[in-house]
Amino acid sequence: MNICHHPNEELLLDYASGALGEGWSLAIATHLALCPACRRMVDGLEALGGGLLMDTAPGPVSDHLLDSVLARIDKMPENDLAPTPAPASAASSATGPVPVLPQPLRGYVGGDAAELQWQRLGLGAYQIQIPTEGERVTARLLRIPAGRPVPQHSHRGMELTLVLTGAFSDTTGDYGRGDFQEADEDLEHRPHAAPGEDCICLAVTDAPLRFSGGLMRMIQPLLGI
């Protein structure tokens, strides 16, 4: 696996510091499960942050701080408390084929890609919406048929896309397993799945897409995209 597209350093820093919401963090954590280079960077950022905290003089805290922290831990999925995952190549040698969906994503949706109940979107595409809490962000799995394009669209906000299997290409480049794309209001594109294998992606957005075609705009409320 040759990962060419990575999250920017600001996103990795926000993830390491705990500043990202759940949906965005899920996208970064899933990329980290596939990308040793970004794991090393996040480990370094966390170590740097820990060192800065060690050098900071202590200050007063709320009497209820411990209760608040414990309550947040109780609400976290068990997979969020697991150690940093080993590289996929190492994990596969003992357990057989590498899952399409790495942890923590597999824990969120309750299984690997072939075990899930996909919702039909039309034109051979499917989705699975992933519940996240406390933010105006939508996370979903998308499965695009091999060799087929996604309808042309732009964005009303930010979209993070992580390829989990298969591949796609657009005007910004080619994306395979583990590759990470960041899109904003400035990008209008028509991602095209590569032939030979369906493309499954994790997509996280904070606003509906803006489709160019009239038909897609008509049915968009029904699809929830």
pLDDT tens by residue, 68-124:
434 544 554 544 444 344 444 444 445 567 899 999 999 999 999 999 999 998 778
**Is 103 within the bounds of a domain?**
no
- What total number of domains does the chain contain? 2
Of 62-71, 147-156, 158-167, least confident by mean pLDDT is 62-71
Domain identity same for 124 and 213 = yes
Of 71-85, 152-166, 203-217, least confident by mean pLDDT is 71-85
**Is 100 within the bounds of a domain?**
no
Of 59-63, 155-159, 184-188, least confident by mean pLDDT is 59-63
Of the candidates 195, 193, 173, the one whose C-alpha atom is nearest the C-alpha of residue 2 is: 173
Give φ, ψ of 219 to 5 degrees.
-95, -5
Last residue of a domain, one of 61, 95, 129: 95
Whether pLDDT at 8 is above 90: yes
Q: What is the pLDDT of residue 49?
A: 59
Domain identity same for 66 and 143 = no
Whether pLDDT at 134 is above 70: no
Alpha-carbon span 151 to 220, nearest angstrom: 11
pTM of the full structure: 0.76
Domain identity same for 91 and 121 = no
**What is the pLDDT confidence band of residue 130, given thresholds at 50, 70 and 90?**
very high
Domain identity same for 89 and 115 = no
Domain identity same for 182 and 212 = yes
**Is 66 within the bounds of a domain?**
yes
Helix/strand/coil for 123: coil
**Is 46 within the bounds of a domain?**
yes
CATH number of the CATH domain containing 24: 1.10.10
Of 1-5, 44-48, 110-114, least confident by mean pLDDT is 44-48
Domain identity same for 33 and 133 = no
Last residue of a domain, one of 64, 95, 126: 95
Domain identity same for 49 and 139 = no
Last residue of a domain, one of 34, 62, 95: 95
Structure token pair of residue 89: 């190549």
Q: What is the pLDDT of residue 124?
A: 87
Alpha-carbon span 46 to 12, nearest angstrom: 10
CATH number of the CATH domain containing 137: 2.60.120.10
Domain identity same for 90 and 159 = no
Of 151-155, 173-177, 179-183, 186-190, least confident by mean pLDDT is 151-155
Domain identity same for 184 and 129 = yes
**Is 101 within the bounds of a domain?**
no
Domain identity same for 131 and 165 = yes
Q: What is the pLDDT of residue 208?
A: 79
**Is 159 within the bounds of a domain?**
yes
Of 47-51, 66-70, 97-101, 168-172, least confident by mean pLDDT is 66-70
- Enumerate residues 6+ apart whose C-beta is below 8 A from 93: none
Of the candidates 208, 116, 112, 223, the one whose C-alpha atom is nearest the C-alpha of residue 164 is: 112
Q: Which residue has the tokens 């759940």?
A: 22
Domain identity same for 149 and 72 = no
**Is 1 within the bounds of a domain?**
no
Structure token pair of residue 68: 């608040």
* Domain range for 40: 9-95
Domain identity same for 168 and 191 = yes
Of 38-52, 78-92, 175-189, least confident by mean pLDDT is 78-92
Q: Are 203 and 139 in contact (CB under 8 A)?
A: yes
Q: Are 16 and 45 in contact (CB under 8 A)?
A: yes
Alpha-carbon span 149 to 169, nearest angstrom: 9
**Is 119 within the bounds of a domain?**
yes
Mean pLDDT of the chain: 81
